[in-house]
Amino acid sequence: MPIFQTEGIVLQSRNFSETSKILVVFTRDKGVVSILVKGGRKGNKKFPGGLETLNRIDLQYYHKQARELQNFKSFDLIDSFQGFRENLSRLYTALSLAETVLRCTASEDQNEALYISLIAALEAIDQQESSPWTIRWKSLLEFCKYLGFGMALEDCSKCGSKSDIAAFDLQSGGFLCRKHTENKPSVINVSGELWGTLRFLAQCNYSAAPRMNVNSTTGRRIETLFKQYYLYHIPGLKTPESWKKLQEIYWVREE
Ligand SMILES: [Zn+2]
């Protein structure tokens, strides 16, 4: 059986039987792959840690076409992102991005741009101590682009105006000025501040994202917008559990 080697991020790691584990890994070269690790449960001397969720690993497995569960061979740890593990808000931000990839991509659907974007996001959350939500929103902007439904943030998608932006069309992914706001179910009201925040995040790099100062009202509106937008475009998607959890974590201090 051919051995396949690629690097990947562990999206999920769960116990399977008394001794084994199933890893769900988002790989650079094969997309999301499920791997059975015999004898891989914690405490086993063969695997002294390293197969935990959110670890970046270099992975070898026995690849068989059209098989749902592949067999593990070996791995090397590339990065365990120790920077964000101790902080609830940053850890859940990272988990929410992993869950987004898990829920929004099909098995073995290669998406290298999405992979590179996820790595950049995890590195930023690992290194930046403040405002992880800005990195999350920047990531969600990048992810939807690589999932095929990017937002057009430049200006009003009808007239090119950059002033008085008042609405967003979930269907087209375009923003609309007050004059061109349409009355149809996919159009929702947004504030100019929300639009400006997302516009900044789309243009900056990951390390600069936390410089954007956002109040909790706008923050909640941005979260709602992403939720509606992803649910609109990904068939069968329900709000990921980690997204719900973040609403309790992010804005508590200001209430
Ligand atoms: Zn317009």
pLDDT single digits (tens) 220-243: 999 999 999 999 999 999 999 999
Distance CA(127)–CA(97), nearest Å, equals: 16
pLDDT of 255 reads 46
Separation of CA 126 and ligand 1 centre (Å) = 40
- Specify burial of residue 88 (Cβ count, 10 A radius: 0-12, 13-18, 19+): exposed
Q: Looking at the predicted structure, is the pLDDT value of residue 44 above 90?
A: no
pLDDT by residue (tens digit) across 47-72? 667 889 999 999 999 999 888 999 99
CATH of domain 83-254: 1.20.1440.120
H or E element that contains 2: none
The C-alpha angle 99, 252, 88, rounded to 5 degrees, equals 45
pLDDT of 253 reads 59
pLDDT of 41 reads 73
Distance CA(97)–CA(115), nearest Å, equals: 11
Separation of CA 159 and ligand 1 centre (Å) = 4
pLDDT of 160 reads 96
Separation of CA 199 and ligand 1 centre (Å) = 17
**pTM score over 0.75:** yes
Q: Looking at the predicted structure, is the pLDDT value of residue 109 above 70?
A: yes
Calculate mean pLDDT across residues 156-168.
96
Identify whether the C-beta of residue 137 lies closer than 8 Å to the C-beta of residue 158: no
Q: What fold is seen in the domain 3-80? A: OB fold (Dihydrolipoamide Acetyltransferase, E2P) (2.40.50)
Residues that place a CB less than 5 A from ion ligand 1 = 156, 158-159, 161, 177, 180
pLDDT by residue (tens digit) across 165-220? 999 999 999 999 999 998 999 999 999 999 999 999 999 999 999 999 999 999 99
The C-alpha angle 55, 60, 63, rounded to 5 degrees, equals 120
Separation of CA 53 and ligand 1 centre (Å) = 45
Separation of CA 166 and ligand 1 centre (Å) = 9
pLDDT of 43 reads 58
Q: Where are the domains of the chain?
A: 3-80, 83-254
Separation of CA 175 and ligand 1 centre (Å) = 9
In terms of pLDDT, which residue wins out, 49 or 4? 4
Q: Looking at the predicted structure, is the pLDDT value of residue 46 above 70?
A: no
Separation of CA 147 and ligand 1 centre (Å) = 27
Separation of CA 181 and ligand 1 centre (Å) = 8
Separation of CA 229 and ligand 1 centre (Å) = 21
The single residue listed with the structure tokens 């087209």 is 172
- Specify burial of residue 194 (Cβ count, 10 A radius: 0-12, 13-18, 19+): buried
Question: In percent, how much of the chain has pLDDT > 90?
Answer: 87
pLDDT of 254 reads 53
- What mean pLDDT value characterizes the chain? 93
Q: Looking at the predicted structure, is the pLDDT value of residue 127 above 80?
A: yes
Separation of CA 187 and ligand 1 centre (Å) = 14
In terms of pLDDT, which residue wins out, 182 or 135? 135
